[in-house]
Chain A
Amino acid sequence: MRYVDAVGIQIDEVRRVAALARLRLEAAEEQRLCAELGAILEAFERLQRLDTAGVEPTAHVEEFGAPLRTDEVTNLPADEALLAGAPARDGRRFRVPKIIE
């Protein structure tokens, strides 16, 4: 059953978001997520009613600036360990299937 509401989310939106997130969804999953996300977003609607004019968004709870490191090479050349979990390799390179433009 399709969930359509003023606040809710449309099925094509669900597809757009799934594509952005590189998630393959079955048709039933799409419907379910459509309903669930719609309900969640509706519950979150109350945020919109709150007046936040002039309120700075919190980017970080901390008050100090970015720590900086010295420009020096501290990592030794990598051995096999970091490549060991590669699903597919060609020598020292990771292999992936072809990109269809």
Chain B
Amino acid sequence: MTQAAAGAPWTLEGYEAVIGLEVHAELLTRAKVFCGCSAAFGGEPNTNVCPVCLGMPGVLPVLNRRVVEFAIRAGLATNCTIAPRSRFARKNYFYPDLPKGYQISMYEAPLCTGGWLEIVVDGVPRRVGLTRIHIEEDTGKNIHDLVAGGSLVDFNRSGVPLLEIVGEPDIRSPAEAGAYLRALRSVLQYLEICDGNMEEGSFRCDANVSVRPVGSSILGTKVEIKNMNSFRHVERALAWELRRQVRTLLAGERLVQETRLWDAEREETRAMRSKEHAHDYRYFPEPDLLPLEVSPAWIEEVRASLPELPGARRRRFEGEYGLSAYDADVLTQRKDVADFFEAGVAAGAQAKEMANWVTTEVLRIVREQRLDTQLVIRDWPITPAQVAALARLVDGGQITRNTAKQLLPRLIGTDDDPARIVEREGLAQVSDRGALQQAVREVIRQCPEQVAQFRAGKERVLGFLVGQVMKATGGKANPQVVQELLRAALSPERNG
């Protein structure tokens, strides 16, 4: 496998990858898309159901306005054209979790078309086209009955609103696919319309994968890959499948246009054993729903309510705060984290310092406390003001970074002001040369081996010696001053 340079497309033995991703995002409305049942997760089986989402005889769908609003939001945030008139269609097939024997979706006239998403792979920005976004209803859940054989069906999720987001086959590597999914998830989270949780199934991804000789414009045989349950799995499945396709072609065999499932345990894709008849969905316009009309006024209303989107925010962070593309990207993946960063800057922290603290320490806390499972983190265990105060104390030389790192965990869950603690406990950085001279001498005396190594020319050992002084002073010594003192103390006897 070859990966030439950062952000470069995937190639293998003269073949390149053509990947299109299809995402289904569960929308965070209160009620289902076509009935007044709760769309909330959980509950005893078959309790959030009614005749409509159970597909009983005689029932009819009525469209939830907020689902449309969320769809418009998603379309605008991805630069799509919003159709003034779009139509629902029936997708007909039989499966136990599909109560009506058809899914209400959109086919020939979707709500949103022709957008794009900006992604950043290894610092290189690219655009991935979006073919369409449309509204559809989710199915129930079919689970295998481990005791008696057969399946058990729960329709609580039947009728939950979904957005189907279809990307153009513009993606050229598994890494790009991962970047696309992360970028899309970010957008949906910023819009607060989907919590983007792949593991829980609120954000699902299927991929269409083919390969072709590098530079060719003719598409190869397309294979659909399903059952990838995390971003990592998507990247691995794509990498494996691409290799499989190239190996197959190199062996002179033909690829079958089929659907394959990713087996996460065996780390391979396998063909589904499907029935002889391929799916003929017999799409036709849904007669029970009239065309969806979206006025220009509504579109403008939604546009006005959009937050600053991840891409725009990232670029602003790079420009306004002078942050690196990488840091800006990490900070803007989640809106609440970006808000945290900016609140810290507003509280007086220097931008790069604050960025450093947020991307390292704060995000670590977020992960450890699993705060990122929430759509929006509202209760932070530590505040931007507290982190800003720490950053300013380090920046202003009052404490060492070391001290600050030790202080941070003590602030969690409290509203203590770090400056107070520093004062109270005498944690201030010691920069006075006279005060430090003693410790420096002590360390030189205690570490003759490292001293000799340094004098012999091993620069790196200085770090060790500085560390020892830091230890001896309980982390309070100003590392720059310590370094200077050490050099001064050791250099007259250096050779060369």
Contact = CB atoms under 8 A, between A and B. Distances in A.
Contact of A66 (B30, B38, B56, B63): B63
Interface in B19-55: 29-31, 35-38, 43-51, 54
Contacts of B291: 59-60, 65-66
A71 B38 contact: no
Chain A at the B interface: SS class: loop
B360 interface: no
A91 B290 CA distance: 38
Interface stretch (B142-150, B225-233, B331-339): B142-150
A56 B178 CA distance: 43
Contacts of A83: 46
A77 B42 CA distance: 12
Interface stretch (B65-73, B113-121, B433-441): B65-73
Given A69-B36, A98-B150, A82 B63 contact: no
Interface stretch (B277-285, B344-352, B422-430, B463-471): B277-285
Contact of A98 (B48, B151, B155, B280): B151
A16 B277 contact: yes
Given A19-B277, A71-B29, A74-B31, A92 B46 contact: yes
Interface string A68-81: 11111111011000
B152 A74 contact: no
Contact of A59 (B50, B282, B287): B287
A59 to B, nearest CB: 4
Contact of A73 (B37, B153, B280): B37
B277 A68 contact: no
Contacts of B148: 90, 95
A63 to B, nearest CB: 9
B87 interface: yes
A97 B51 CA distance: 23
B250 interface: no
B272 interface: yes
A101 interface: yes
A95 B277 contact: no
A94 B291 CA distance: 34
Contacts of B150: 95-98
B153 A93 contact: yes
B62 interface: yes
B292 A66 contact: yes
A55 to B, nearest CB: 15
A67 interface: yes
B273 to A, nearest CB: 5
A62 interface: yes
Given A96-B150, A96-B153, A20 B280 contact: yes
A96 B96 contact: yes
A68 B36 contact: no
Nearest to B94: A22
A82 B54 contact: yes
B154 interface: yes
B289 interface: yes
Interface in A1-43: 16, 19-20, 22
A98 B153 CA distance: 12
Contacts of B51: 82
Contacts of B49: 78, 82
B67 A94 contact: no
Contacts of B36: 69, 72-75
A71 to B, nearest CB: 4
Interface of B: 29-31, 35-38, 43-51, 54, 56, 62-68, 85, 87, 94, 96, 145, 148-155, 272-274, 277, 280, 282, 285, 287, 289-293
19 contacts: A60-B287, A68-B64, A68-B68, A71-B30, A71-B31, A71-B67, A73-B31, A73-B37, A75-B35, A77-B43, A82-B56, A92-B44, A93-B45, A94-B96, A95-B150, A96-B151, A97-B150, A99-B151, A101-B273
Given A92-B46, A98-B151, 10 more contacts: A65-B290, A65-B293, A67-B62, A69-B63, A71-B64, A74-B36, A78-B46, A92-B44, A94-B153, A99-B96
